[in-house]
Amino acid sequence: MADRQDAEKDVNGGWLSELFAPVAGFGVTFREMFRRTVTEQYPEQKVPPQPRFHGRHQLNRHPDGLEKCIGCELCAWACPADAIYVEAADNTEEERYSPGERYGRVYQINYLRCIFCGLCIEACPTRALTMTNDYDLTGTSRAGLIHEKQDLLGPLLEGMVPAPHPMVPGTTERDYYRGTVVQAVSEQRAWVEAHGERAGDVPAGSGGTSAGPAPEGEVAQ
């Protein structure tokens, strides 16, 4: 019995630890008092997040500038927060935004609802929708946090021309998905020059309108 009591004392640390037990919780506080203070100078200095951080979404383009979104709505169906609203329309020879039949005419993401789970990008069959590292998502109004297509479209990179424009001559939509289209060709550039840059496709953040303001009922609230 005496041996058992001694063993219990050893486990509990003896009378010394019993004496300091009430103040032991302050150990963490004291330790932190002598550590270097870390102050984030946000927003003047932005610390880059980890590469796989889920931030603002981006609607991607093919290498010639056509949009990858085909308006299939799978992202909207996959979203557990009902934060995405998509409305598709048919491409025509005079007004083509993506290879194939359809494109996303209206595309909205409601960042008041989004929980950044990434299910929408997993559901997208064309890799049109991905997530960036951008975490600056603030606004002064509820409406301002509903991002429209022109806010989400990726920028025009080198080799791209703004949609709408025809596909690369002699190609089908399969060629786009096989990666055989690598940049806009002279026929596409000539078409865009002849028709002028439409207000419908401008680099993200330049303040243009893509699908135009959606009617009120279309806003995914």
Which residues make up the interface to ligand SF4 (CB under 6 A)? 69-75, 78-79, 81, 83-84, 86, 104, 109, 114-120, 123-124, 126, 128-129
Nearer to ligand SF4, 64 or 185 (CB): 64
Supply the minimum distance, in Å, between the C-beta of residue 69 and ligand SF4.
3
Minimum gap (Å) between residue 144 Cβ and ligand SF4: 17
Beta bridge partners of 86: 107
CB 96 within 8 A of CB 166: yes
Q: Which helix (H) or strand (E) holds 5?
A: helix 2-12
Residue of 145, 74, 141, 87 lying closest to 114 (CA atoms): 145
Q: How far is the CB of 47 from ligand SF4 (least distance, A)?
A: 22
Closest CB 75 distance from ligand SF4, rounded Å:
3
Residue 209, token pair as written in the block: 């309108």
Q: Which is nearer to ligand SF4, 146 or 202 (CB)?
A: 146
Judged by CB, which is closer to ligand SF4: 117, or 208?
117
Write the CB contacts of 58 (distance below 8 Å, at least 6 apart in sequence). Answer: 129, 130, 131, 132, 152, 153, 154, 204
Q: Which CB sits closer to ligand SF4, 147 or 165?
A: 147
| Nearest Cα residue to 67 out of 149, 132, 7 | 149
